A and B are shown apart, each in its own frame.
Chain A
Amino acid sequence: DGGITQSPKYLFRKEGQNVTLSCEQNLNHDAMYWYRQDPGQGLRLIYYSQIVNDFQKGDIAEGYSVSREKKESFPLTVTSAQKNPTAFYLCASSTMGGRYNEQFFGPGTRLTVL
Chain B
Amino acid sequence: GIQVEQSPPDLILQEGANSTLRCNFSDSVNNLQWFHQNPWGQLINLFYIPSGTKQNGRLSATTVATERYSLLYISSSQTTDSGVYFCAVREEDDYKLSFGAGTTVTVRA
Is chain A's binding surface mostly helix, strand, loop or mixed?
Answer: strand
B26 within 8 A of A: no
Instruction: Judge whether B41 and A107 touch: CB under 8 Å.
Output: yes
A25 within 8 A of B: no
Taking residues whose C-beta sits less than 8 angstroms from the other chain, chain A's interface range is 20 to 34
Instruction: Judge whether B40 and A107 touch: CB under 8 Å.
Output: yes
Instruction: Judge whether A110 and B96 touch: CB under 8 Å.
Output: no
Instruction: Judge whether B41 and A42 touch: CB under 8 Å.
Output: no
Taking residues whose C-beta sits less than 8 angstroms from the other chain, chain B's interface range is 20 to 34
Q: Please, how many angstroms separate the alpha-carbon atoms of A48 and B50 in the complex?
A: 22
How many A-B Cβ pairs are below 8 Å?
A: 57
B17: chain A residues at CB < 8 Å are: none
Instruction: Judge whether B42 and A107 touch: CB under 8 Å.
Output: yes
B50: chain A residues at CB < 8 Å are: 99
Contact of B101 among A42, A100, A103 (CB under 8 A): A42
Q: Please, how many angstroms separate the alpha-carbon atoms of A42 and B3 in the complex?
A: 12
B100: chain A residues at CB < 8 Å are: 42
21 interchain pairs (CB within 8 A)? A41-B102, A42-B4, A42-B99, A42-B100, A42-B101, A43-B99, A48-B95, A50-B95, A56-B95, A58-B96, A88-B41, A90-B43, A92-B97, A99-B30, A101-B31, A101-B90, A102-B31, A102-B45, A105-B35, A105-B43, A107-B40
Known: A101-B31, A107-B41. 11 other contacts (CB 8 A): A41-B102, A42-B4, A42-B88, A43-B88, A43-B99, A45-B97, A48-B95, A92-B97, A99-B30, A101-B90, A102-B31
Interface residues of B (CB under 8 A from A): 1, 4, 30-31, 33, 35, 40-43, 45, 48, 50, 86, 88, 90, 95-97, 99-102
Interface residues of A (CB under 8 A from B): 31, 33, 37, 40-45, 48, 50, 56, 58-59, 88, 90, 92, 99-105, 107-108, 110
